[in-house]
Structure 1
Amino acid sequence: MNNSTYPIGNPGEKWNNNHKLQWLEAQKIKRSYNDEVLTLINELKDTLIVEQYGELNYAQNSYPLFALKTQHFDKNKHTVLITGGVHGYETSGVHGALRFAKTLATQYAEKFNLVITPCISPWGYETINRWNPEAIDPNRSFYEGSPAQESALVMNYVQSLNTDLIAHIDLHETTDSDNSEFRPALAAREGKVNTNWNIPDGFYLVADSNKPEPAFQKAIIECVEKVTHIAPSDENKQLIGVPQEQFGVINYAAKELGLCMGLSDATYVTTTEVYPDSATANPEECILAQVAAISGALDYIINK
């Protein structure tokens, strides 16, 4: 599929502001950030610190942004960042972060200071979208002077904590809609010909090619495969067009690509990729896979 088949834009031409407005007007609210996310955050106020770190004010709506922190931050403990909903449409990233916060965060608070931002892109959550209303991908926008408010606000918040991170786990999904909608839209926006990738059937990880920490990634895979299946590589020994570094793991240049997992200098970083469209998966399994990824990462650090 190439951008000539996408309903917005002209083949070979980048979108102008009118095209972006046309795209925005086609987006519809499909679920409620307030009902499905904020209510769950409010339920955690008795066990975790809930901090508002910003607000997104779009013409369609205003969205308060919240972080969850374990109580009694201790400078003698390592601090771990868990992020979800950078791509709002990736549902288990949001609800995996919230489920971990509800069920396991206080247990791990004995070893770590935990910071959880469960839904960085609430407009994307409500419209089931990869981009923000300005047709910007927040997960390519984690750099100084970011054009995405979602990315800039969470970066500023993490910096305000004034603490070094030992680890950062960023929760994502790879969905069939990547090929049916989001990659064609990206090609149209950039005036390029789209080439779809093979959607991996199962869970996989994206490590930072500058600090891959393969043993750390392997420990997460081993924990997650108790919950859901790990994606095999394709006939080219690749996942999403990238060579497989080890079973279930590929490497990306996090900082160079502006990825969320590159926002800090943490030693241990990873991006999870759950496959919710698998014939054998269900929403609960996807959430539990995210929780398993977090606990596997933390257990590795504890036992190292």
Structure 2
Amino acid sequence: MKFTVATFYLFADLPDYEKKQPLIKEFCEDQSVFGTIILAPEGINGTISGERKNIDAALDFLRKDNRLAKLPTRLSFTNRKTFHRMRVILRSEIVTLGDPSVNPNEAVGQYVEPEDWNRLIEDPDVTLIDTRNDYEFKVGTFEGAIDPGTETFGEWPDYVKKNLNPEKHTKIAMFCTGGIRCEKASAHLLKQGFKDVFHLRGGILNYLEKIPKTESNWKGDCFVFDHRVAVKHGLEQGDYEICFGCRWPISKSDLNSPKYEPGVSCPKCADELTEDRRARLQERHKQVILAKKRNSEHIGIKPEKIKKQNHND
């Protein structure tokens, strides 16, 4: 069976976001649509998966709210079930910067279409910044991009304060997975006095979908928050898996390391695991294998928790 994966976000005024939670969860579950949707007073952010007709029904349901009528969506496809449960989470922000005064509805940077992105970032006067987290940067990024070295988006304001200057960095181009993080990051930079701030419309996923590999400045894969772990150009399945010991992405070369143990550890975490945790992970992996042999799903698998970060950022 082929599954459709829909990613979306929209900054919109949703003071009644708490009331929407049970309605959305119930509708999606009735449609056998699973994934994670984040609701906050500032809008909606989500990734869901299911059969195409059911995904269409779920999106239509969301758009019945006039405030979400223009909810943009990106679709991709996979042969594997991406999520196993439906979560609708309530938060104060749909992407957590930690500064509620930053409002993308008031001002954001200049959007750059994927077709115009290469020309912009090849400009020597442009400072190119990957606003994602460090582990995502290591999976893949644009050639010449700066890695802020952050573990969460909440560290972005501190990075800007310590490393960027409006008088020195006169043209800044930013990118993230789906565009949402850059909405806030660019709004934050404008509040700090930066003038020429640009961000990739639709994020890396939009670029990989529209720009052929032969014309691309992208290097590596793009980390995503579901069972696919990473995607390539054309949004095809990438070459990474996830380590259930530390939840970090692992490459094909990592799989050949003597420190790699399926379902337990990878080169990054093998030396840090306690014997107790190692034993628990080994037992969990054994149960996963037994479940596969029975052609069933192990309830402990929670791919949507691969990384406890915001989705679609």
Per the normalisation by structure 1, the TM-score is 0.28
Question: Highest CA radius of gyration, 1 or 2?
Answer: 2
Higher relative CO (Cα under 8 Å, sequence separation at least 6) belongs to 1
Per the normalisation by structure 2, the TM-score is 0.27
